[in-house]
Amino acid sequence: MSDSLDVSLQKLAKDGASVALREAFRHVFARVQAGESGIIAESEIKPVGNLFTLEEAAVHRATGESALKETALIKLNGGLGTGMGLDKAKSLLPVKNGLTFLDLIARQTLHLRNTLGIPLPLLLMNSFSTEADTLHALERYPKLAQRDIPLSFLQNRIPKLRADTLEPISWPNDPEKEWCPPGHGDIYAALAGSGTLTRLLNAGFNYAFVSNADNLGAGLDAGILGYLVTTGAPFLMEVTARTGMDRKGGHLAEWRNGGLLLRESAQCHEDDVENFQDITTHRFFNTNNLWLNLVALDRFMNETGSPPDLPVMINRKTVGPARPCIARRAATRNRNGRCDCCTPELESH
């Protein structure tokens, strides 16, 4: 198995992968090799009680308003709109009056800069599939770009691995099928490995608000930012009450021995599905609106040499007609143990 890891690391290095990504991959590989399944059993967790509320955060608004000038906006923009007939970034879909998600994000950012009098850099974490079209679309907003802060940085890609040997897949007829996106948790390795984290810190930006590019309701809240600053927390996640529409989405929980976690459907055993979907038990849903303390992230990576270790999620797919592979994100297996997918590509979740 160590040979399999070495081959994968060599493949990553040849692909130009950063040290941060290679270290993150090394850690995840070791956990999968040791038998970690990625499943979080209902018996290991308990429902979350009361959380700090938006109303309670409002007392920190003045502190947050002062810190807005040190805050950057990051939009997760790596997904394609293939399910809606697009072969381009999902954010290029028209939303209203011919304006796309990307148009509205750009206009919102420029408006906030003008009304709040803050620099507010906008950065998009793109994939190889979305970057060119995204940057072309943003050319109509020449004031959006800022000196020394890139409009875009790329999310990484990792090798698909065989389920039986953990060796990287070889697919000479279409080498792109040998790779998959590691998911949104890749943001830490991508920020550091691209040099973007250093650029932000050098320019005086100590905080970042991260959200999905197709979530136009995500907005800067000075109270939440103030809470982040006051407490010195390295990370905050905005959650909201689950509804019937959210039964199959990820929920917040607490380990029996303490500590919060986010459990996705891919991490739920089939025997626990009923509990997973019980919105009266597991009441909180992840909005994927995240607040990062960039100083704390940089310190952590300097001390450990790698990004934060995140929960492993196993994703079984078919590369060709009968060649299974394994990757670390969002499994889509049905009760018969067969993949629900019909194409060899992996979606980023």
Give the model confidence (pLDDT) of 280-328 as tens digits.
Answer: 999 999 999 999 999 999 999 999 999 998 888 888 877 765 544 454 4
Position 300 scores a pLDDT of: 96
The answer to whether the pTM exceeds 0.95 is no
The amino acid that residue 3 corresponds to is D
1 or 125: which carries more pLDDT confidence? 125
Domain ranges of the chain: 2-327
Phi and psi based region of residue 181 (left: phi greater than 0; alpha: psi -120 to 50; beta: remaining):
beta
17 or 347: which carries more pLDDT confidence? 17
CATH 3.60.15.10 describes domain 2-327: no
Whether the pLDDT of residue 54 is over 50: the answer is yes
Whether the pLDDT of residue 343 is over 50: the answer is no
**Residue 341 pLDDT grade (very low, low, confident, very high; cuts 50, 70, 90):** very low
Position 2 scores a pLDDT of: 66
Instruction: Supply the DSSP symbol for 308.
Output: P
The backbone torsions φ and ψ at residue 252, rounded to the nearest 5 degrees and listed phi first, read -80, 145
| Alpha helices by DSSP H, the chain | 2-14, 19-33, 54-57, 61-67, 101-116, 131-137, 187-193, 196-202, 222-231, 273-276, 294-304
- CA 185 to CA 25: how far, in whole Å? 12
Position 80 scores a pLDDT of: 82
Q: What is the pLDDT of residues 25-45, one digit of tens each?
A: 999 999 999 988 889 999 999
Q: What is the pLDDT of residues 129-158, one digit of tens each?
A: 899 999 999 999 999 999 889 999 999 999
